[in-house]
Each structure stands twice: as C-alpha cells, then as structure tokens.
C-alpha cells in the first residue's frame, strides 16, 4: 500500500487541512439540508416574494393616482386588495419562521424550557468588480484589473457571511468582514461622489427590503447577525451540564452586548428590526435568557431541602420572573407588538407566570416543611424571612410566622395556592398559542402544576374554613446577575485587501491627487540638495527651485510613489535612499503625485429605499464618517524626521429538590426511580429528591 506525500505531509492530511481552511472562509454549505439552513432558505424565498408583491403594489398605487378612468380604478383597487392580502399571508409565513423555536434547540434537549433565537438577516448578492475597478482607475490612477484577486477575495468573504456556521468560527467570520468594512469605506467611498453600489438587506421581522449606497446599513446588519448568531449558539448549548450552561450564559450575554453596541453605534438605521425600541427589547430578552440559564445552573446540582436554600431559590426564581415580565411589557408596546412574533410574547408571559409560581412553591416548602426547632438559629431565620417579603399581611412579624405553627402553615398555604394559580395561568396561555408544538414546554408546565397540587393536598385540612388571604409578594434577588458582554471578536485585526494602493492615511477616497508624473533625477541633483520627509510614503520638502528636477516638474510636498520600476508607496526614507544612492550618469526616473487641496464638502445625503409599509422606522440616513467626529479615534502621528539628499540614513524602526423536567429517560439526578412528588415526610430523609 502506497501513500502520497506532499512536502513531507501525507496527502490525506493536506486535504483535511484544506477543508478546514475552506470551511472557515466559506461559511456553511448553503445547500446543506439542516433545519437551520432550510429555515434560512425559506426566509430568503419569502423575502423575494414580499419585494415582488410590494413592487406590484407600488405600481398599482401609481396607476391609481394617474388614471381618471373609473373602470381602470375599479380594476386597480381589486388588484390592490389582492396584493395586500398576499402580503399579509407572506408576512404571516415569515412570522411562522421566526416562531420556529424548536429548530434552534439542542437536538438532545428534552428537560429544559425552550429558548428563543434570532434569525439571520438576509441580503442580496453584491458585485464589486466594475465599480471598484472604475474607482481605482479614476481615483488612484492605477489599472483596476490588477486588483481582481483582491476584489474576488472581498466578494467571497461577503458571500460566506450569508451562511456562517453556528459556532465561534462563524462569529469570527462575520467579525472579520465587519473589520474590513471601515477599510473598504476609506478606500472606495468618497464623500463627494457615489460609487453606484447599493447594499440591500431585508428586515428580519417584516421582510421589507432596505437599500442604501453607504456602508452604514452593511455594518449595522453584520453586527445584528453577529448578535443573532450568538443567540443561536446559546440555544444550541447542552443545558444538562454545567459547562453547557456556562457556554449558553456567555453566548446570550455576548448577544446582548453586540446588540447594545449596534444600538449605541448606529442610531439612524432605516430597518425597523434595528430601531432603538426593537433593539432594547431584544437586549432585554437576551439578558432574561442568560438569567434563566444562571438559575438553571444553580438548580442543576440539586436544591438543598433546607430552609435557607429554599428561600434563596425562591428569590432567584422571582428574579427570572421579574426580568421576563419586563421583556413581555416591552413586547406589547406599540409598534413593537405589531412586528414581534406572537410566540415570543407568549413565551415571555408563560415564563413570567411559571417562575413566579416556582418562587411561591419554594417559599411554601420552606414554611410548611421546616418548623422552627430548638437547634435552629431563630435570629438568622427571622432575618432571612424578612428579606424575602416586601410587606407581611395583617401586621404580622417574621418572628410570629416562624414561631406560631398555625400562622406558618397559613402563610405557607397562601403561597402554594398562588403557585397553583400561576401554573394554571401559564398552561392557559400556552393552550391559546397557535404554535403549541413544543411538547417539552407543555410537559414541564404540567409537571410543575402537579407538584404544586401535590404539595397542597399534603397540607390540606378538610375541617378548615376557606382562607382568602393573599400571599405576600416575594422580593426578587440574585447572587449572579446577567450582564452585557461585548465580545472581543468585534475588534478583529485584519490585513487590508487593497494595501497595494498605499498607506491608508494618505491614499484614501477622501484625498485627491494629480495623476502620477515622471521626473528624471540626474547625478547633479544630489549636489543641489533637497530633503525627504516622512515614513511611508516619503515626501519631498525643501526643494531648491533651481535644480533640474524642479525644472522637470518636481514640486515641494510631492509624494514619491515609484523609483524606476519599483513601487515605493510603503517604503520609508531609508529604503528610498538605497534605491536612489546608485544613480548612474543617465539618472533614474521617479514617479510622484501632488495632493490637491479642496475644501471638505458637506456630508451627502444617501437615498434610502424602503418598502412602502406603515411604521417604517426611517427613510433617510446621512452618510457621516463617525471616525471623523470621534476625537478618540484620531491617531497622533509621530513627528517625522528630516533627512537630506546624499546624507546617510541612520534610522531603523445532602438532600435536594430539582426542577420539574420533561425527561423520561431517568438519566438526570432528579429523575431517578424515586417518587416524583414525595410526601412531606420524605423531606426529612437525606435521600429524598424532587
């Protein structure tokens, strides 16, 4: 058996390394038949159908305004009603795609409440070849065909960003393209002329296309997709392990940080899914899901069946409920409620009730199953209980509740009744949801409800009169609060694709120069003496007007871009000196360009095309260069050294309770073959599990 070897490396390893490299550069296979790729393909197809219907509607509306024929008006109105109904159907299908929560979950997830992931924004293919080649020829006076490879690399990178893999490599791919965009903007997007390039992105909630000629929309959309990808990574994590939960927490916090960075940086993005109100809601939702994962991380090893542990978990659950309530309140505000999928607001409402009920269940367990004993620290229990309640009904004190068994049982029963009502409300809301295909969620809600009913039946006394006292509210508190985390990948160092054009500080779209001029330098020029200044490229200063080079057209302030056949845009003074030191009697040709002074123009308005739908966030965006307005972004250049012509250059450079789940395998610690809902006596047994 023979093995093919290439440069000492077996061929199979070479092929493996090549595939790994291409996967990082090209993103996912857009034709892969995964659930997520099918979803994105459907989204792209729906976007195309929506824009087609919108064009038909715009044409019909224009015809309706232009015609005075009543028969034609009747036909146009009929067509408009047909188009509008089609649009409503297509947007309903798009909402269905955004409601496909189960597609993004971990394939083995059977015991946790599903989480929500954002879908990626879709865009059109872009062809930079002709506009960039024309700009290179007109602005930089170079042959654009010499930069075909660089333009192809840029287009390949953008195409790969449309289908990033759902892992850190996919995020890094998006971050790499995002880091290239400021360089591309400086090279090719002049404040005085338009390139003719239109960037089109589709709203992820409505499918409405938005088109701009500047790069603001492109940058903002890539940032949005980075946040969306982090949310998909978070939902994919295995939440049955501590490591998986930590990865999910980090992913959701990074998603919130990325979206917050988008909100603060791009404040006038015309796409509604990136409006400040929508982004604020999405940030809250990501942080709520991170807080939920933090709660699951605390509960995963098992909840100690002790007074203090139960009250602590009650406050943790109340915190999750409080955050989801804030998310739900932001979702039902106008105009967000008109664009957010109904399933999202339903999920937020379900989780608000579910975790609030869990908090009341934990307090009820602490009061009903743990009476104050002689060995218990009375002061510590009183302090702990007083921190749980904002107020205690009927003027009772925490110590009265702890010492008097009747009062303790009465308050405990009010909590368990409130827990039952909350679970029933969560189940009712779930039953009203149109997309009730999430069996895992239903099983968890039912298990939690049954557990509360079982607890109530254990402590029910038929001889007691009906007690209508309301359970006091539980103060939310957490030891580990979810915080926004700006990922380091938003600032990836990249190499400029078009660095052959020269240093960006000089050769950018904002600067204007004369066409390159050829100057003949002769041996006698070195005796007259002129000075070279700067790092890259070198600049001519202190030029003697009587020297032959000056008579040949050399000017003070000219930049030397070539010496003979050698391009020297990136050469410093010492390197240019080495090229010029051996001038023979015939001399040598150099190419120079002169900076053209012009008053900086006012920022031009960039026409933005947006679908003719109501409640569009914005229609006009100004093409401002944010870096110029940020004094922190300005670089302080080192004072350049001066070297004279002909001079030698010398410079170099215990018992536990567990959360109800839908897992039937028995593999989880709380699903061992012990009673699912143990009696109150089992709390005193160290092996008892919930």
Global pTM value: 0.76
**52, 98, 272, 445 from 45: Cα distances, Å:** 11, 14, 20, 36
Q: Which DSSP string corresponds to 629-644?
A: H-GGG---PPPPPEEE
Report the pLDDT value the prediction gives residue 229, as an integer from 0 to 100.
93
Measure CA of the first residue to CA of the last residue in the chain; give whole Å: 60
- Kindly indicate the confidence band of residue 630, based on its pLDDT and cuts at 50, 70 and 90: very low
Homologous superfamily assigned to 512-596? PDZ domain (2.30.42.10)
Say whether 389 sits in a helix, a strand or coil. Answer: strand
CA distance 448 to 690: 11
Place of tokens 């009010």: 414
Same fold for the domain at 31-99 and the one at 512-596? no
DSSP single-letter state for residue 513: B
Question: What φ, ψ does residue 549 adopt, rounded to 5°?
Answer: -65, -35
Residue 145 has pLDDT above 70, yes or no: yes
Least confident of 8-12, 63-67, 500-504, 627-631: 627-631
Contact 479, 565 (CB under 8 A): no
Helix-strand-coil split of the chain, %, nearest 5: 55, 10, 40
Residue 521 or 170, more confident: 170
CA distance 568 to 501: 11
Contact 122, 202 (CB under 8 A): yes
Contact 237, 106 (CB under 8 A): yes
Sign of the Cα pseudo-torsion (496, 500, 506, 508, in order): negative
Residue 591 has pLDDT above 60, yes or no: yes
Report the pLDDT value the prediction gives residue 131, as an integer from 0 to 100.
92
Least confident of 148-162, 241-255, 568-582: 568-582
Report the pLDDT value the prediction gives residue 94, as an integer from 0 to 100.
67
Residue 635 has pLDDT above 50, yes or no: no
Mean pLDDT of 30-59: 68
Least confident of 98-107, 435-444, 514-523: 98-107
Report the pLDDT value the prediction gives residue 270, as an integer from 0 to 100.
85
Place of tokens 């459907």: 42
Contact 77, 193 (CB under 8 A): no
Most confident of 30-34, 347-351, 393-397, 554-558: 347-351
Question: For 295-321, what is each residue's pLDDT tens digit?
Answer: 999 999 988 888 889 999 999 999 999
Contact 226, 491 (CB under 8 A): no
**82, 312, 330, 535, 647 from 650: Cα distances, Å:** 79, 70, 65, 14, 9
Question: For 77-124, what is each residue's pLDDT tens digit?
Answer: 888 787 777 777 776 766 666 655 555 556 555 678 889 998 888 898
Q: What is the CATH number of domain 31-99?
A: 1.20.58
**227, 239, 607 from 299: Cα distances, Å:** 27, 11, 53
Question: What φ, ψ does residue 5 adopt, rounded to 5°?
Answer: -120, 135
Q: How far is CA 97 from the centre of its chain?
A: 19
Report the pLDDT value the prediction gives residue 269, as an integer from 0 to 100.
84
- Kindly indicate the confidence band of residue 497, based on its pLDDT and cuts at 50, 70 and 90: very high
Say whether 86 sits in a helix, a strand or coil. Answer: helix
Domain residue ranges in the chain: 31-99, 308-477, 512-596
Question: For 339-396, what is each residue's pLDDT tens digit?
Answer: 888 889 999 999 999 999 999 999 999 988 887 666 677 778 888 888 888 777 676 7
CA distance 580 to 685: 92
Residue 432 has pLDDT above 90, yes or no: no
Mean pLDDT of 47-70: 80
Report the pLDDT value the prediction gives residue 580, as an integer from 0 to 100.
79
């Amino acid at each position: 058996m023979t093995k093919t070897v290439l440069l000492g490396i077996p061929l199979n390893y070479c092929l493996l390394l090549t595939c790994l490299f291409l996967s990082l550069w090209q993103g996912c296979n857009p034709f892969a038949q995964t659930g997520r790729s099918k979803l994105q393909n459907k989204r792209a197809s729906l976007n195309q159908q929506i824009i087609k219907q919108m064009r038909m509607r715009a044409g019909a509306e224009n015809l309706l305004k232009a015609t005075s024929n009543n028969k034609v008006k009747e036909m146009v109105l009929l067509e408009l009603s047909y188009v509008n109904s089609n649009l409503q159907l297509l947007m309903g299908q798009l909402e269905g795609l955004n409601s496909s929560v189960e597609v993004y979950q971990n394939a083995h997830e059977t015991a946790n409440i599903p989480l929500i992931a954002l879908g990626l924004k879709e865009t059109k293919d872009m062809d930079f070849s002709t506009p960039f080649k024309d700009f290179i020829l007109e602005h930089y006076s170079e042959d654009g065909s010499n930069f075909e490879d660089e333009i192809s690399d840029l287009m390949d990178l953008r195409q790969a960003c449309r289908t990033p893999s759902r892992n850190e490599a996919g995020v890094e791919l998006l971050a790499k393209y995002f880091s290239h965009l400021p360089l591309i903007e400086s090279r090719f997007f002049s404040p005085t002329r338009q390139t003719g390039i239109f960037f089109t992105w589709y709203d992820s909630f409505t499918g409405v296309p938005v088109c701009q000629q500047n790069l603001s929309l492109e940058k903002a959309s890539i940032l949005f997709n980075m946040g969306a990808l982090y949310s998909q990574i978070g939902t994919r994590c295995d939440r049955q392990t501590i490591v998986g939960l930590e990865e999910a927490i980090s992913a959701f916090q990074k998603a919130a940080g990325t979206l917050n960075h988008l909100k603060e940086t791009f404040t006038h993005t015309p796409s509604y899914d990136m409006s400040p109100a929508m982004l604020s809601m999405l940030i809250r939702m990501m942080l709520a899901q991170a807080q939920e994962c933090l709660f699951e991380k605390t509960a995963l090893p098992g909840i100690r069946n002790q007074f203090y542990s139960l009250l602590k978990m009650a406050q943790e659950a109340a915190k999750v409920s409080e955050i989801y309530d804030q998310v739900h309140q932001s979702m039902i505000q106008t105009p967000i409620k008109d664009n957010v999928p109904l399933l999202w607001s339903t999920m937020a409402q379900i989780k608000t009730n579910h975790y609030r009920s869990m908090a009341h269940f934990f307090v009820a367990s602490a009061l009903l199953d743990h009476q104050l004993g002689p060995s218990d620290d009375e002061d510590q229990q009183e302090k702990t209980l007083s921190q749980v309640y904002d107020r205690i009904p009927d003027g009772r004190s925490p110590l009265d509740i702890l010492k008097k068994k009747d009062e303790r049982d009465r308050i405990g029963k009010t909590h368990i009744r409130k827990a039952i009502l909350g679970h029933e409300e969560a189940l009712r809301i779930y039953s009203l949801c149109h997309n009730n295909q999430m069996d895992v969620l239903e099983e968890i809600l039912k298990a939690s409800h049954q557990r509360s009913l079982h607890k109530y039946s254990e402590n029910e006394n038929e001889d007691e009169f009906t007690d209508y006292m309301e359970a006091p509210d539980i103060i939310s508190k957490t030891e580990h609060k979810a915080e926004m985390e700006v990922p380091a990948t938003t600032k990836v160092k990249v190499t400029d694709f078009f660095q052959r054009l020269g240093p960006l500080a000089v050769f950018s779209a904002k600067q204007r120069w004369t066409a390159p001029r050829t100057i003949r330098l002769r041996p006698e020029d070195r005796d007259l003496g002129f000075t070279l200044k700067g790092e890259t490229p070198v600049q001519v200063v202190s030029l003697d007007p009587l020297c032959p080079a000056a008579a040949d057209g050399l000017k003070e302030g000219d930049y030397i871009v070539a010496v003979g056949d050698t391009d020297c845009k990136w050469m410093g003074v010492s390197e240019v000196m080495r090229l010029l030191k051996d001038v023979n009697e015939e001399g040598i040709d150099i190419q120079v360009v002169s900076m053209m002074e012009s008053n900086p123009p006012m920022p031009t308005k960039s026409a933005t095309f947006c679908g003719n739908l109501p409640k569009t966030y914005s229609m006009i965006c100004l093409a401002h260069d944010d870096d110029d307005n940020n004094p922190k972004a300005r670089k302080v250049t080192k004072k350049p050294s001066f070297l004279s012509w002909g001079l030698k250059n010398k410079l170099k450079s215990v018992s536990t309770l567990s959360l109800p789940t839908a897992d039937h395998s028995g593999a989880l610690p709380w699903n061992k073959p012990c009673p699912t809902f143990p009696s109150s006596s089992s709390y005193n047994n160290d092996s008892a599990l919930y």
